[in-house]
Structure formats: C-alpha cells, structure tokens
Amino acid sequence: MKKIITGGTGEFTDKKSRFIANIYNIESEEQAALIIEKLKKKYWDARHNCYAYVLGDKCEIQRFSDDGEPSGTAGKPILEVLSGSGCGNCLCVVTRYFGGVLLGTGGLIRAYTAASKEALENCRLGELTEGVHAFLDVDYNYVGKVQYLCSQNDITIVNTEYAENVTFELMMEKQAEALLAKQMTEISSGKVCLRNATDMKMYRDDTGSLTV
C-alpha cells in the first residue's frame, strides 16, 4: 500500500468551470470530515465540494460524495482515481466553480477525474516496507566510507551530528541492516556497530528516501 507523504493540488478547466483538487493523507474519518469542512469554508463561494476517501489497512472504508452534482459524476470518479493509485488512508476533495455552461455527465466525469489525477501526480508518494531506524557512531576517518556505503545500499541518512565523533541517524530497509553491519564490522575491525536499531514500518518515496 502506498501513502501520501506530502499532499498535492491539481486544477482542470472546461468551458470556464474550474475544478480544484486537493489530496491529503488522513488517519481517521473524523480527520477527513475536518479537512472537508475547512475546504468548504476556504472555497465558500464555490458551487460544489465533492470528495472521496479510503481508510484502513486494506482500504476497507470507502466514502464519497457528489455534493449536488448528478449522481455518479463526481465522488465515484474521484474514488476510482484514489483506488487505482494503490494509495491508502487518503482524501481527495475537488472544488468546482461553475462556469455557466453545463458539461453533461461525461464532461463532469472527465473533469473530476482529470483534476484528481493532476493532484495525485503532484503528491509525494511512499511505498510501505519493513524498515530499520538506527544510529551509527564513528570517528571522522570513517565519514566518507559511511556515506559511500549508504549511497550504495539505498540507506537514507536522516541526520548527521558532528561533535567529538560523528553520529549518523539512518533509515534502511530490513535487508540492508545486516549488510551494513557486516560492512562496518569489516572496515573497522569490529570497533563500529549499529546502535538502537529499531524495526518499524516505513515508506520509500519516489526519490528513494525512507520516511516513517
């Protein structure tokens, strides 16, 4: 399952009707309701604020609303974009400013779909994986070697603290932990090892970086 790490916005215009889509990561229906209400206040002068969201470990909770548009022309197309993306725990709200010309059923479906897709393309997405969060303390002689090993093994350096020694805060997929530990043991003759290594669910984004 994918996650919305950073939300995105998209816009589509057809015959002077504007469709503004906003996508968010959510963790509950209550949070979804608060965001929807906030957007209705922000776009108070819009004709419609249609939405869809999915929640749950298996996306078992699915809700959508046409908010006054003809049945099946807004909420369901938005939901299909979310479902097709493989993203879970996400909300998409599409605000419509009416341009004075009726678009018809097909036109509405295309417009709500297009706006939702553009917003999704502007999101930062992450793929769920088994990960490890750990720290590595080394002296300055090993800094370049650690940076090289991390780049070669797709390990994310979250933070680096320079003091008497250097402390790397790392995130890596589970299979990379044993490899890094072995490599550091070899180059340091057993003097350097990972500490506070904690298993957790993580997300790898499209840049290759890991995040919780």
Dump pLDDT digits (tens) for 147-187.
999 999 889 999 999 999 999 999 999 889 989 989 988 88
Distance separating alpha carbons of residues 8 and 6, to the nearest angstrom? 7
> Where are the chain's structural domains?
2-122, 130-200
197 compared with 113, residue with greater pLDDT? 113
pTM above 0.85, yes or no: no
Task: Write out the DSSP string of 85-114.
Answer: HTB-SEEEEEEEE--SS--HHHHHHHHHHH
Is the predicted pLDDT of residue 9 greater than 80, yes or no? yes
- Quote the mean pLDDT of the chain: 93
Phi/psi for 16 (5° steps) reads 70, 0
Number of helices (H) and strands (E) in the chain: give both, helices first.
5, 11
- The pLDDT tens digits of the residues spanning 107-138 come to 999 999 999 999 999 999 988 888 999 999 99
* Segment 71-96, tens digit of pLDDT: 999 999 999 999 999 999 999 999 99
What superfamily in CATH does domain 2-122 come from? Impact, N-terminal domain (3.30.230.30)
Within its chain, how far is the Cα of 103 from the centroid?
32
pLDDT at 207: 77
Reply yes or no on domain 130-200 having CATH 3.40.50.720: no
pLDDT of residue 208: 76
